[in-house]
Structure 1
Amino acid sequence: MRNHIVVTVLAVLVALLLKACANVSSPTGGKKDETPPQVVRTLPEDKSRNFKGQTLEMVFDEFIQVDNLKQELLITPDIEGNYEFKPIKNGLRLVFDKPFLPNTTYTFNFRAAIKDVTEKNVAENAKLVFSTGAQLDTLAISGRVTELLGGKPLQNAVVSLYRTSDTLDILKHKPFYFTKTDKEGNYLLENVKQDAYRVYALEDRNNNLRYDSQTAQNEQVAFRTEPLALDSSYSKVNFALSRMDALAPKISDRNPSTGFFELGFDEGLQSVTVALDNAAGNAVFNLIEKGKTVRIYNTANRTDSIPVQVTAVDSMGNQSQQNVKIKFDEVTNKNRPPAKEKFDTKTDPADGQKVLRDFVYELQFNKPIVTADLAKVQLLADTVTAIPLDPARELVWNPYRTALRLNKKLDVRKGVRVIIPKGTFFSVEGDTASQVKTTHELKDPENYGSIAGRVNTNAPNVIIQLLNSGTSEVTAEVRNQYTYKFNYLDAGDYLIRVIVDDNNNGKWDQGNFADHRQPEAIFFGPNVIKLKENWELTDQNISL
């Protein structure tokens, strides 16, 4: 009986031991594995010549996992056909359905596709290079890709090379050579054949390796004006990407009502003008919904069809002129006029915000103003003494009469008060704005800082802009002068941006890809400027 019990216990212990050995798991405890997988063997050997096969293998010194191979693996030049991925022990195998091109050097860059199974360490320099001929191409091109307007590096931007001897182009075909940028915007394209190439960089949003300029993708792009004759390796071939939108805005939607007619556009507009036929009088209209809708008001209570000419300009300066007919709905028992939109008024600066002696004050309305008694606008020095205003010179409407700007040089001791009584403004819908009453102290220089410097350039026309480093919002700017000083700045981080204004129109102009015209050049200061209260930073100079 005792022998039977001993045998039974031994059998249980052996079974438990075998089960423990069968369960493979990541080791627990001990030092964390930070060593990435290392390549120990490839088929063919790296940098081999005269390879004629259609199967590639890469084996590592530990178990690996392969993630997002189709997105991570970069094969240059581009291959014909497809490949099948097969896992093998400690590695992977790629089987291609078509042979490689003869006398061609291929580079397979696996980037972040290969990792170890324990800590997900990415295999470094997981590349395989071989030639199908006797010559191994060794030329390289490298550089950095950034955003032109923001100056920030672009990750996963595509840098493309097209041979000038080919009829392929970036709009319809994949490149002969390509690579992608890292998180710092840097790129390196190796093992390139000596030849002449058209070189591009683009923000490939849909991963098709082509530039989509006429679609909703509207990708950023940059190009070299002249082909690159690659007879030696090149570095610092940098690109600054921007959108080259050549599409004019189009009307995409029409919505009638009894009180107004709305025209929807396929993009936001920078500006718009509306001209009615002579019998309809002057058009009263407004841009709403972030500039994507033009609302035309029925001020003459018309219900017939009215010819309208709409001239629309988008943020890139593309303009369209479209002739349409609009027809307001008739008022019936079932079709009542829409309820009046609540009349809202905002001020910039808001009540309580501090201001400069060069006082700029804007009233913003949510619908057009048709009647205004500007003599009722009051400006009080130190909240007591009336300041005379010249409405014709110091009060300016925007084109839609939805904003009124006051510009006044203040001669005050402490501050200013603005009072605008109810009944000063009447909207297109006949209602009046509520009273406006705001008070503003003058800014104390000790609570602010300043930034000054010089731009060294031979360019005749420049725009110097101060940007908020975090938002890229323009805080201040000066035109056509080479020295600058920006005063009364809040503490924070800033950047200096310089636009070379070639046509001296006071704004940055985009390029045109179809016409091979470059955008106006933009340069940034070398560093983020960190400003504190009561600091005066000078010598923030930039050489273009």
Structure 2
Amino acid sequence: MENKIDKVNRKNSDMKKMKQRYCPEDRDGKEDFSARSSHALPVRISHCLSAVYRPTLVPFYLFTLLLFLLVSCAKMGQPDGGWYDETPPRVLGASPAERATDVNSRKVSIYFDEFIKLENASEKVVVSPPQLEAPEIKATGKQITVSLQDKLQPNTTYTIDFSDAISDNNEGNPLGNYTYSFSTGDHIDTLEVAGYVLDAENLEPIKGILVGLYSNQNDTAFLKQPMLRVSRTDSRGRFVIRGVAKGDYRIYALQDADGNYRYNQKSERIAFTPEVIMPSWKPDIRQDTLWTDTLHIKDIRQTPYTHFLPDDVVLNAFTATQTDRFFLKAERKEANHFTLFFSYGDADLPQIKGLNFNARDAFVTEPSLNQDTVTYWLRDTALVNQDTLRMQITYNTTDSMGGLVLKSDTLEVLSKIPYARRLKRRQEEYDKWKKKQEKARERGKSYETEMPAAPLEVKFDVPSQMDPDQNPTFEVSSPIEKTDTARIHLYEKIDTLWYRAKYQFGAEPGRPRSLKLISTWDPGHEYSLEVDSAAFTDIYGKVSKKYKQGIRIPSTDEYGTLVMTLQGMAGRNCLLQLLNESDRPVKEVDAKDGKATFHYVRPGSYYLRLIVDDNDNGRWDTGDYAALRQPEAVYYYPKVIECKAKRDVQGTWNPHLLPLFRQKPGAITKQKADTQRKAKSRNLERAAGLGIPLPAENVGPEKQKTKKRGHKDDGKTEADRQ
């Protein structure tokens, strides 16, 4: 007779078999219902349970229906966290109080109504007067602490300009341009001086350069004393010096390399003006336009404000030429030549005396254009194979008094690749060539019995299509000993026949191994340049290979002409450059009579740069503070010029009509203005998504779009202006 335990075990076994039969995917007990749809879950449970408990199907179907409804109501959703915080932090107070007088504490604490963060404090926060020892600036919770390390100056207004570095911690809403000030005397100085710093050569805005004032108007103050009050330019090159007292000042810009707030290194970029700055102010009115949306004006209001002057100072920054001459280094990258580097050029080349070789007639000398670099090519192959050249060089150098004196140094110039390694490499090349020739001989093909000498490398810059005012150039890898013009042929196609065309060679300035083939190139004609082998022979006996290139000169119908009349530039030496969309010159003409013409201009978009060539040397020259000489003036035509084929474009340009900081077109300005930090406006998107109007308490100042008219954009907030 079956006992009670066996009966229970048999029943459990039967249930397990039925479950595996009707729920095969759950045989291993690892069915993952979470991976399935929430609507499929009760159906699966129902199938399994009904299979096991068939006698009670109706109650289980009711149970399944109820379970289905419960699961359907339990869908996943995103909880609504309410409206976003779009309000920037507010200043609640400070210690010492803002604009406090008779302050003697070097520690400043500023308190806010919410947790804040400080971004790029070392770059954005500027303390004035400048601190020789950097202040400690910390943001903790709802507080910013500034600890000044320098001793406080008596009767002085201190300003801490935070720019846009302060924002709330959660949403990053910026406070805006904020400046804290206090005074160690009995009053606060409130005048301001503003303007722009531009690169003198290309009018690019300079970001992050220091701009400072000196009450001492002596020219040597910039060299010996730190600046009195400072600011730092933003991405537009814009600066605002705050807390200025009444008086007369000189203004300077300085890319301070050593942090001493004065000009003591010629490598530091600077700017200065001979004019004296006299800060002032006047009451003024601007028009503020309030917009309902992007198309509809809500109101136009006249707002009084304090207008500080001057607010348009332009400083043209430059790096002075390094005129102190001293020896830098010697280098021998290739075995057949070495190069001497100097900080500045000299008309007298160095004298070389060989200590382990005879230096007489041993070199071909190749100076650079400025003669600050001199390359010596070794004529004798025995010297080329010599790994170490010991020599004594005598050259002019600058002494402590600034004059030139002769100095001698002993050098050991080592070849970068030793002769043994070069010999091994040549042997490997020979073995490879020999193996190739043996294979050719075994296969009955033509082969060589003597390895040909390496040819002279010549870089031919000869385009297949060339403008009539261009010329091809050749550049050889080593100095030329001989040029055989009888092996160089230029042919011009007239109708269907080819005729010899005249040409001559011209040297490239500062590039003695480069030659320019000069000819008269007729528009609409075809040419063929054919260079026979051995046309060029270098000092080592290497000869050039054969070369041929066809040249097409487009017809005049494929070009346009640009004529520009310059106003206010009569009697001045000017260079006018036609620039491409990368701000690079493609053509350059003289404009000494106030008129410039560009011929053979290909269709496209162009820009213009004008250089006032005061010394008439054909190039832009930098400034020199020691001589109080400004860099040569540069101007940009503010519009793009569209040139088309078979069209003459004529224009008139007064370079003085616009201030320099508004001249360079934005399309070719590389230093773009940073995106202005604004409070986020996600509440508007949220309200639109919910289909409800935005509550009034969530409309931040950024929603009230305002355009200012009748005043210059100085990058300041309303509080700053008023």
Short-chain TM bin: 0.7 to 0.9
Alignment of 1:28-427 (within 5 A): 33-79=85-131, 83-85=135-137, 87=139, 89-96=141-148, 100-164=152-216, 169-171=221-223, 173-204=225-256, 209-211=261-263, 213-214=265-266, 218-230=267-279, 233-248=309-324, 250-255=326-331, 260-265=336-341, 280-281=360-361, 283-286=363-366, 294-299=374-379, 343-350=456-463, 352=464, 354-358=465-469, 360-382=471-493, 385-389=498-502, 391=504, 394-396=505-507, 401-411=512-522, 413-427=524-538
Give deviations 1:146-178, integer Å, cap 9, x for gaps. Answer: 111111111112111122079984445531111
- Selected match of 2:577 from 457, 465, 470: 465
For the structure 1 residues 122 and 265, does the alpha-carbon distance in structure 2 shift closer, same or farther, using more than 3 Å as the test?
Answer: farther
CA contact (8 A) 2:106 2:149 kept: yes
Q: Give the CA deviation at 1:196.
A: 3.1
CA distance in structure 1 between the partners assigned to 2:414 and 2:232 by the alignment? 55
State the secondary structure of the residue aligned to 1:110: strand
Q: Which residue of 1 aligns with 2:600?
A: 488
| Unmatched runs of 5 consecutive residues or more in structure 2 | 1-78, 282-308, 384-388, 398-403, 427-452, 657-722
Q: Which has the higher strand share?
A: 1
- Selected match of 2:553 from 429, 435, 442: 442
Q: Give the CA deviation at 1:483.
A: 0.9
- Of stretches 164-173 and 220-229 in structure 1, the one that deviates more from structure 2 is 164-173
- Of stretches 78-87 and 151-160 in structure 1, the one that deviates more from structure 2 is 78-87
CA distance in structure 1 between the partners assigned to 2:642 and 2:515 by the alignment? 35
- Of stretches 223-232 and 354-363 in structure 1, the one that deviates more from structure 2 is 223-232
State the secondary structure of the residue aligned to 1:71: helix
For the structure 1 residues 430 and 273, does the alpha-carbon distance in structure 2 shift closer, same or farther, using more than 3 Å as the test?
Answer: farther
For the structure 1 residues 410 and 468, does the alpha-carbon distance in structure 2 shift closer, same or farther, using more than 3 Å as the test?
Answer: closer
State the secondary structure of the residue aligned to 2:171: coil
For the structure 1 residues 191 and 359, does the alpha-carbon distance in structure 2 shift closer, same or farther, using more than 3 Å as the test?
Answer: closer
Give deviations 1:402-454, integer Å, cap 9, x for gaps. Answer: 11112211347531111111110011221111112111111244444443211
Q: Give the CA deviation at 1:145.
A: 1.0
2:627 matches 1:515: yes
State the secondary structure of the residue aligned to 1:539: strand
| Unmatched runs of 5 consecutive residues or more in structure 1 | 1-26, 313-318
CA distance in structure 2 between the partners assigned to 1:242 and 1:100 by the alignment? 33
Match for 1:78: what amino acid?
P
CA contact (8 A) 2:346 2:396 kept: no
Q: Which residue of 2 aligns with 1:6?
A: none
- Selected match of 2:651 from 521, 539, 544: 539
TM-score by length of 2: 0.61
For the structure 1 residues 82 and 462, does the alpha-carbon distance in structure 2 shift closer, same or farther, using more than 3 Å as the test?
Answer: closer
CA distance in structure 1 between the partners assigned to 2:140 and 2:641 by the alignment? 53
State the secondary structure of the residue aligned to 2:471: strand
Q: Which has the higher helix share?
A: 2
State the secondary structure of the residue aligned to 1:134: coil
State the secondary structure of the residue aligned to 1:523: strand
Structure showing greater relative contact order (alpha-carbon pairs closer than 8 Å, 6 or more residues apart)? 2
RMSD over equivalenced CA pairs, Å: 4.1
Match for 1:480: what amino acid?
K
- Of stretches 133-142 and 378-387 in structure 1, the one that deviates more from structure 2 is 378-387
For the structure 1 residues 113 and 257, does the alpha-carbon distance in structure 2 shift closer, same or farther, using more than 3 Å as the test?
Answer: closer
CA distance in structure 2 between the partners assigned to 1:291 and 1:29 by the alignment? 71
CA contact (8 A) 1:75 1:106 kept: yes
CA distance in structure 1 between the partners assigned to 2:594 and 2:188 by the alignment? 51
For the structure 1 residues 418 and 110, does the alpha-carbon distance in structure 2 shift closer, same or farther, using more than 3 Å as the test?
Answer: same
Q: Give the CA deviation at 1:493.
A: 4.1
CA distance in structure 2 between the partners assigned to 1:474 and 1:413 by the alignment? 21
CA contact (8 A) 2:524 2:556 kept: no
State the secondary structure of the residue aligned to 1:422: coil
- Selected match of 1:431 from 522, 542, 557: 542
CA distance in structure 2 between the partners assigned to 1:422 and 1:281 by the alignment? 29
CA contact (8 A) 2:130 2:261 kept: no
Give deviations 1:241-281, integer Å, cap 9, x for gaps. Answer: 11112335543233569964412425698999677799834
For the structure 1 residues 179 and 514, does the alpha-carbon distance in structure 2 shift closer, same or farther, using more than 3 Å as the test?
Answer: same
- Of stretches 143-152 and 396-405 in structure 1, the one that deviates more from structure 2 is 396-405
Match for 1:64: what amino acid?
I
Q: Give the CA deviation at 1:238.
A: 0.7
